[in-house]
Amino acid sequence: MKLTTQAEFDQLETRRVEIEAKEFALHRMKVSAMAAFFTAQFGLGYYTIFCVPWLGWDLVEPVTYTIGQGSFILGLLIVMRNRGAGIEYSELEQLYSRTKRKKWLKKYNFDLKRHAFLKRKLERIEE
């Protein structure tokens, strides 16, 4: 019983590590893209205000205002998406865990509950 459980757990653990590597690379790419966008916006905005004679604050300000309002709306959407979670860390962690579990099951056909069950089963067998 231990050998079959260990074999299934090892197989799931290998797949979990692969999926986490993919998800981490995707997350890193998103963060890098956002950082590049905001850096470019900051640099381009200040360049146009101070270095381009025909572009001044009167022309650049509506653009920065629009981007700021867009960021505010994006923040509101994130808050609305998490509105049922509560404000405590444990509640948000549970929400993100459920979301991750559903996403992995749908996208990668990987059952995190089965992985946790096998891990607990192996611990009980060891005891």
pLDDT band at 124; cut points 50, 70, 90: very high
Amino acid at 45: G
pLDDT digits (tens, 9 = 90+) for 63-77: 888 988 998 999 889
Tell me how crowded residue 82 is: count the other CB atoms within 10 A of its CB. Answer: 15
CB 115 within 8 A of CB 122: no
Q: What's the gap between Cα 95 and its chain centre? A: 13
Number of domains the chain contains? 1
**What pTM was estimated for this model as a whole?**
0.63
Q: Which domain holds residue 120?
A: 2-126
CB 57 within 8 A of CB 49: yes
